[in-house]
A and B are shown apart, each in its own frame.
Chain A
Amino acid sequence: MNAEHPMAGVAAEPGVSKPDPVLVADGLQRSFGGLRAVDVDHLEIQRHTVTSLIGPNGAGKTTLFNLFTGFDEAAAGEWHLNGGPLAGISAYRVARKGMVRTFQLTKSLARLTVMDNMLVATKDHPGENLWGAITGGWKTTEAANRERATELLARFGLDHMTDEFAGGLSGGQRKLLEMARALMMEPEVVMLDEPMAGVNPALTQSLLTHITGLRDGGKTVIFVEHDMDVVQEISDWVVVMAQGKIIAEGLPGDIARNRAVIDAYLGQHHGEAAS
């Protein structure tokens, strides 16, 4: 990391404020029965960075994703994208506002072709409402979208699969397709839920390059990951969750040495038990 690191000078403490946050959450809460799955006092995500969200299983990472993107309802709290409130806004509207997510279990539209998977991901297509579909007049938008989709597919190395059914792709190719499809929405924030899960090691590197490529192309990336090596390699900032709370934030190098993080991952008494 060089001296112009975007997060240089930001204090490594939970809930710290960032110089230029794109997403800000306050008092976010969600419980399942007696279990408090998410309980976040304050969280800011810096624009144009790759922010990793890590934590042990059951820490509430995916639930936090679901709340942010409208796939789950928060019990309390508010969060803003570029200052605009997102609380209570349905998932499809959140996506249109520029925050697009992927899923832990890849959701390719299996019996649609790769190209059709891409073409579904558009905003304001006149042919997507009933009246437009019947009267026609959507062909120009369609052609422009198709061109953009072709470029994206080429960038993600899927251009030779354009007319295949998405269900026929390998696991790794589906991850790539899901990422390319999210980009068709021209999002500002891309939220990737465990993009490396189930991907063979050979493809991991290419996926990582694509993720940093998103940031370099002007997107903000938030992603959930388990593998600390992966996190170290590509994150600009790391947010650690445990039992629904943010327990640490910081530069990737610092996080690995953070006492609270080690406790959360290995259990609080690991040092004593060993002696």
Chain B
Amino acid sequence: MDWSSVLIDGLLSTIGPITAAYAVSAIGLNLQFGYAGLLNFGHVAFMLVGAYGMGISVNFGAPLWLGIIVGILAAMALGLLLGIPTLRLRADYLAITTIAAAEAIRLIVRSSWAQPLTNGVFGIQGFAGSFFALNPFPAAELYGFGSFVVTGRKLWVMIVGWTVVALMTLLVTRLIHSPWGRVLKAIREDEDATTSLGKNVFAYKLQALMIGGGIAGVAGILLALEQQNVTPDAYLPKITFILYVIVILGGAGTILGPVVGAIVFQFMFFTIDALMVNAQASIPWVGDLLTPAAAGQVKLVFVGIGMMLLMIFRPQGILGNREEVLIDER
């Protein structure tokens, strides 16, 4: 076993652009779930719509910046579409509708019927050229020290990704620390009481769903740019649940919770991954026991165990306030 390479591989992946994209998406989910109390179980669909909105419009000849705006607006429109019929009803209806809509959207996008627009299961490529043309770092050059290095290409996506994380955090901070955010928290606590205080609860929930959805759209765009590829099967329902794990791990209803959650989750995930790859190569009986396919499942088992331990010993998440969670139990 080469422990230092396990750690370096884990760390390099953790600070990578994928973590940044997950953090951005989790920031959007946290606004909906952590602050407004909305059970959006189809968060991945907002990422999909954001990515496809950008990919399709660039393929139709739009410049990248316009494509990004189209993607964000499309994700927000999805929030409007899902929110209008469900947000007046009990919370469970939003949950059911979003989880079903997310799968329906993915299946439609990958169907042969939609192929002229979405290119079906093969997805869309060739939209990221102008993004990488802006890269000031020579793409193949290595940055870092020792074996802790990234390529210039990756460094560029990382810088953009984490800048977006910072911008989205600032946006949500500004919103949550305003009276608007206070109303959102009041709605999370009790909708009837908030209505009796003269607040249009439906409008606030719709706004939260749309803004959170737009932020998820940004995350989908980031992911698409990093991979230079948008395929429907990158947007499986499990992404939504990983994002819930991230939000709860970091501390739902805290400003930095989703960012910390994403970093910690990805570090656990990638380090276990690196550990298993390393063990498969260096320890013979592990290699016999764990096929690469089985290793993927084992990773998720570890994530599940980690989540259980967290719920038992620190239900408020890493940054959450224990006092708040205890109030819930009354």
Contact = CB atoms under 8 A, between A and B. Distances in A.
B130 interface: no
Interface in A39-57: none
B198 to A, nearest CB: 4
Counting chain B CB atoms within 10 Å of each CB, which of A116, A120, A134, A138 scores highest? A120
B178 to A, nearest CB: 4
A48 B253 CA distance: 43
Interface string B319-330: 000011001101
Interface of A: 69, 71, 90-93, 95-96, 100-103, 107-112, 116-117, 119-123, 125, 127-130, 132-134, 136, 138, 142, 165, 167-168, 181-182, 184-185
A110 B174 contact: no
A95 B197 contact: yes
Contacts of B185: 109, 111-112, 116
A112 B153 CA distance: 45
Contacts of A134: 171, 174-175, 178
B330 A130 contact: no
Contacts of B178: 127, 132-134, 136, 138
B195 A111 contact: no
A95 B328 contact: no
B327 A128 contact: no
B291 interface: no
A95 B178 CA distance: 22
Interface of chain B: mostly helix, strand, loop or mixed: helix
Contact of A138 (B179, B183, B198, B324): B179
A113 to B, nearest CB: 10
Given A71-B192, A138-B178, A121 B324 contact: no
Interface in B188-202: 188-190, 192-201
B238 to A, nearest CB: 30
A195 to B, nearest CB: 14
B105 to A, nearest CB: 26
Given A101-B196, A112-B185, 18 more contacts: A92-B200, A95-B197, A100-B198, A109-B193, A111-B189, A111-B327, A112-B186, A116-B185, A117-B186, A119-B179, A122-B198, A123-B198, A127-B179, A129-B180, A167-B327, A168-B327, A181-B197, A184-B197
